[in-house]
Amino acid sequence: MTDIVRQEIAATATTIVVKVGTRVLTSGTGSLNYERIGELAQELHDVMSTHRKVVLVSSGAVGAGMGRLGLRERPTELAQLQAVAAAGQSLLVEAYERSLQRHGRHAAQVLLTAEDLDHRKRYLNARNTLCALLEYGALPIINENDTVSVEELQTTFGDNDRLAAIVTNLLQAPLLVLLSDVEGLYDGDPRFPGSKVITTVERFGPETLALVRDAKSGLGKGGMASKLEAARMATASGGNVIIASGRKPGMLRAIVAGEPVGTAFLAQGQLVAARKRWIGYTVQPRGQLIVDAGARKAVEWNGGSLLAIGVVKVSGHFEKGDIVAVCDLEGTEFARGLSNYGSDDVRRIRGLKTGEIAGILGYCPYGEVIHRDNLMVTASHED
């Protein structure tokens, strides 16, 4: 059964997003491992030679910068981290370009911030650029723009695992491959000899999240927790995800051959439209709407719109047309959507029937706070 599933995943993977982590690309001292980059370039070329389109999301800029600047420890201050990333980014892309040139291919550097993808027009511009690069036969190499993204201003992706999931949704790619320093998701602590890699995860649930074992390192920001979140984002939109070892040569070739390597997370339903992927998993919410149990049931299970009568509380400031998070009474987010009203107006009409809105605002342009066509359920039904 597993072989058949993997073969189906491989057969439908016409576009693949590959994410490779810092610990895969660097040595113990923090400098780039050029031999490994060369092997990875060979594999990427082999996959592209099967007429598949490939996009690479690559960490390693900070690690490369540490090697270039002779640093032994990762800086902790934001400005220093940004400076080290700036020094390392060119070195990283140069390494890929040299390796790809041997196969007649070229790298195309694409630096993104979360803010770039928050705006619908810029989001579409990024998508069009990536699609054009793929048509030219180049390999887009994407990284977060560490020199300008600032976490305190909420313009950071947090880690490249999430960025890879966003890119997967951006391109509606059928497959996301996360190459890590571990073999996959284990059924126990990976340090224990009895622990084994789980071959397939069919559904996300509490038992899956309970298996997270993060390994701390001075070089990487991600971990299995962020990889599971990336897998949840991609599979919820109808894509498949494979987490496999990036330290073993041949993993990408094995994956496109349908071999059961690493852990495969299967798509949780049909492909979701690109616009709803943007609403649910790309844009950072500008505020929160706390709703009652009846509203959650209507939105999450019945495919309904969010009405004012179901809104209990409003948090944050947002304008009409902004993305907001929809949360239950415990504050747990279960959906996101485009608000038809600004936060001040929602505060005035919360708890009201639709027919009462005009009496408060003086007009009623919309019968719903968020229309169902502009809603994306983000909660897992396994929770």
Site of tokens 């706390």: 290
41 vs 36: CA distance, rounded Å: 9
- Beta strands 107-112 and 139-144, pairing class: parallel
105 vs 91: CA distance, rounded Å: 18
- Which domains, ranges and CATH numbers included, belong to the chain? 2-276 (3.40.1160.10), 285-377 (2.30.130.10)
Contact at 8 Å (CB) between 22 and 60? yes
pLDDT of amino acid 131: 94
SS3 string, 222-248, reads CCHHHHHHHHHHHHHCCCEEEEEECCC
pLDDT of amino acid 148: 61
Contact at 8 Å (CB) between 47 and 252? yes
Q: Is the pTM of this model over 0.85?
A: no
Per-residue pLDDT of the chain (383 residues; tens, 9 = 90+): 447 889 999 999 999 999 998 889 887 766 788 999 999 999 999 999 999 999 999 988 888 888 888 888 888 888 888 888 889 898 999 999 999 999 999 999 998 887 788 888 888 899 999 999 999 999 999 988 765 655 432 345 557 899 999 999 999 999 999 999 889 999 887 778 888 999 999 887 777 877 774 444 444 445 888 899 899 999 988 899 999 999 999 999 999 999 999 999 999 877 777 788 888 888 889 999 999 999 999 999 999 999 999 999 999 999 998 999 999 999 999 999 999 999 999 999 999 999 999 999 999 999 999 999 899 998 865 44
Residue 148: how many other CB atoms lie within 10 Å: 13
Tokens representing 170 are: 């951006």
pLDDT of amino acid 147: 59
Residue of 13, 4, 5 whose CA lies nearest to 252: 13
